Structure 1
């Protein structure tokens, strides 16, 4: 939930805070930020036409200086173009906080988790060993009108991760 909830003014992002609470250092390197053609699956998820432009932020998420996850976040250009989401700088409080400030608050998220073998680029960026599989988590966040406002594709070493879910019923 901390990754889906806007932060209070001045707060750091959820990853940095979570790592610090464990006595570790969470950080991220932004590889790319700006407008680009959305991959077909992402365009479909965001309700965009094939070949449509989205704002993307490609990052390497690190724990104590070691890569732990590759995260690509996509936003419809209609809500993110011309905002800090399209720039390479770090966003205080994270993208969810900025989206909320822009009037786009997530109320529902759908996640799909799959296991697979990594691409050559993923092996290199995540410093994977031979034959080491990855988990891919694809998350779509929707607003109160059930419009998709963000699509994330996260890739992480399967043997170095634990996914934890808490589900409230009723």
Structure 2
């Protein structure tokens, strides 16, 4: 499936009220998408995360780490970070799947995402990423960093994705009012 390629569109992932966007995307490409929740924890934010979420350096965030699978093959590592003031005491901080997804929960909590900024880049994977994604020594990965902000520009989620690059296309669509 990965070798044939598939198209990934960001809109379903940043729109509240959807179903499992990854499962739906994989099905559209003729595959079965699933995910494994690897870790949910309060962690010290890496410098880039703290800056993006506009928190003090060394501040704590909630991390949700997932492994995305396509036809039971690992294709993406996703780390999503949430400000502690938003996530603590909610399902974002619990080690379980969130009904309707994190973006839907954020909207229900009063933090409806209104704007997203995404950066896409290619790089060599780390040894840990190479192992987790079952890549040989000659494969690169695509990275995608997505920052969601709610009304007034409040950062509510930063996701850092590391994807198998082979066969992957990313599409961006936007409406300009």
Same-fold call, TM cutoff 0.5? yes
The aligned counterpart of 1:144 is 151
C-alpha deviation, 1:25, in angstroms: 1.5
The aligned counterpart of 2:4 is none
Q: How does 1:1-170 map to 2 (within 5 A)?
A: 1-7=11-17, 12-170=19-177
Greater strand fraction, Structure 1 or Structure 2: 2
Per-residue deviation, residues 50-103 of structure 1 (Å, max 9, x unmatched): 110000100001111111110000000000011111111111111101111111
Q: Which runs of 5+ in 2 are unaligned?
A: 1-10
TM-score w.r.t. structure 2 length?
0.90
Corresponding residue pairs, total: 167
C-alpha deviation, 1:14, in angstroms: 1.2
Q: Is the 8 A contact 1:140 1:148 kept in 2?
A: yes
Superposed structure 1 runs of 4+ greater than 6 Å apart: none
C-alpha deviation, 1:166, in angstroms: 1.4
Q: 2:113 & 2:68 partners in 1: Cα distance?
A: 22
Q: Answer with 73-82 or 152-161: which moved more.
A: 152-161
Q: 1:115 & 1:16 partners in 2: Cα distance?
A: 24
Comparing both chains, which one has the higher relative contact order based on Cα–Cα distances under 8 Å and sequence gaps of 6 or more?
A: 2
RMSD: 1.3
